[in-house]
Structure 1
Amino acid sequence: MTDEVIGLFPIPLLRAPGVLPQPLVNALVDHFSTRALEHNNSSEALSHTRMLQPADSPLFVQAAALITPKVAEFGRLLFGENLGWAIKEMWVNVLDTGGRQAMHNHANSFASGVVYLTETHESARTVFMKSPGGHDFTLKNDHAGVTTGPYNAEKWVSPAPSPGDLILFPSYLMHAVPPNAGGRRISLAFNAIPTRLESWGYTLSFNA
């Protein structure tokens, strides 16, 4: 008999390369990079557009049409059923050299995602972290001789993306962007909700 290690209750994260074609990526950058006028408290070098619904921009309509099937695929992992999904808000982030995004999650949604619109310097790849004050041991084993693996790591750095690539994650998952040592980094972020959730006779319906 061979010992078996079973990963209990994993958190899904979906990576989908090339979801948005390059002409659409270019159009989003051209249109929204000058409209990211809302400053972020995390950094003076980080700004974003206001929260928009897909219908607010023809470019967002095109992007949402390509993203939503991936959200539905991801939603089946989260809830075990093919559900209708809607993107309820989208916005564009502009991170200049030296800018950073503090650790945060996304409220009032179930699935969140990022589409990278420009090249991303290695220093500014999205980092996902265990929630502070989680269910880990209070006493840690943390020194130079420790081998980091999926069961003791505190963070995971996403692979280097290309423009048009998508990542999807549960909205509760904490994430951040470290200080950007490269050039301007532009990304499209969004939140999505299912049309309904049902639990033994109780049904909740959601409207985007």
Structure 2
Amino acid sequence: MDEIIPLFPTPFMRVPGALPPPLVVALAAHFSGMAVQDNNSSAKLSHTRMLKPADSPLLVDVAGLVTPKIGEFGALLFGERMGWSIKEMWVNVLDHGGHQAMHNHANSFCSGVIYLTPTHESARTVFMKSPGGHDFSFKNDHDGVATSAYNAEKWVSPDPSPGDMVLFPSYLMHAVPPNAGDRRISLAFNAIPARLESWGYTVRFSG
């Protein structure tokens, strides 16, 4: 019997209700006013400075709830349960008409987004294949093409509710299209494992 085998899939974890509603409300209220740093991709997108869990009791609570999930996700990435720590956290405020350009997260292995407010369907996070090199490329792209996981160039994440979290490898390219709805507030973070070991050679990381 013929068989299609999905070689080397990219893991993506969606955790509905990762944070309880009172914590979600408190995070949005406390940090939205601190999101005063401009983002060069859009005049209607701003964010806080880079934060660590120890900077706020609210972030300590977030870290306590999400770090076990990062451990589960990390086992998919590296084949082993190990200690993980959140390296940095920041809150994004995306007003009506704002967008986030395509990007990934450097100097980390696992990244995540926690949605703190309702998200308009236009501003769902979009994940994309990494762009290719500078060589010529050919595509089969027309109305008759059936898009699948094997030929798609982007994937639009499901509608999130406040408190939902997504985790993904930090190298995965992603963006937020223009927001046609109300203000969208999210908490993003990067995480690193305690160490990586390969046949006696060990690299240790500290958050």
Q: Same fold (TM over 0.5)?
A: yes
- 1:160 is aligned to 2:159: yes
Name the residue aligned to 2:176: 177
Name the residue aligned to 2:190: 191
Q: Provide structure 1 residue ranges, at least 5 long, that are not aligned to the other structure.
A: none
C-alpha distance in 1 between matches for 2:147 and 2:191: 33
Deviation readout 1:101-160 (Å, 9 max, x if unpaired): 0000000000000000000000000000000016xx921101111010000000000000
- 1:143 is aligned to 2:142: yes
- 1:34 is aligned to 2:33: yes
* Equivalent position amino acid for 1:43 in 2: S
Query: How far did residue 3 of structure 1 move?
Result: 1.1
Deviation readout 1:136-191 (Å, 9 max, x if unpaired): x9211011110100000000000000000000000000000000000000000000
C-alpha distance in 1 between matches for 2:107 and 2:35: 22
Name the residue aligned to 2:93: 94
Name the residue aligned to 1:50: 49
Name the residue aligned to 1:84: 83
* Equivalent position amino acid for 2:41 in 1: S
Query: How far did residue 15 of structure 1 move?
Result: 0.2
Query: How far did residue 56 of structure 1 move?
Result: 0.6
Identical aligned residues as a percent: 75
C-alpha distance in 2 between matches for 1:91 and 1:159: 22
* Equivalent position amino acid for 1:106 in 2: H
* Equivalent position amino acid for 2:75 in 1: R
C-alpha distance in 2 between matches for 1:113 and 1:51: 14
Name the residue aligned to 1:7: 6
C-alpha distance in 1 between matches for 2:190 and 2:43: 24
TM-score, scaled to structure 2: 0.98
Deviation readout 1:72-98 (Å, 9 max, x if unpaired): 000000000001000010000000000
Question: Could you say what secondary structure the match of 2:114 adopts?
Answer: strand
User: Residues 127-138 of structure 1 correspond to what in structure 2 (within 5 A)?
Assistant: 127-133=126-132, 138=137
Question: Could you say what secondary structure the match of 1:207 adopts?
Answer: coil
* Equivalent position amino acid for 2:33 in 1: T
C-alpha distance in 2 between matches for 1:151 and 1:102: 24
C-alpha distance in 2 between matches for 1:165 and 1:120: 11
C-alpha distance in 2 between matches for 1:54 and 1:121: 28
Runs in 1 of length 4+ with deviation above 3 angstroms?
Answer: none
Equivalenced residues, count: 206
Query: How far did residue 24 of structure 1 move?
Result: 0.2
C-alpha distance in 2 between matches for 1:207 and 1:133: 32
Name the residue aligned to 2:17: 18
Q: Provide structure 2 residue ranges, at least 5 long, that are not aligned to the other structure.
A: none
Question: Could you say what secondary structure the match of 1:145 adopts?
Answer: coil
C-alpha distance in 1 between matches for 2:3 and 2:30: 52
RMSD, matched Cα: 1.1
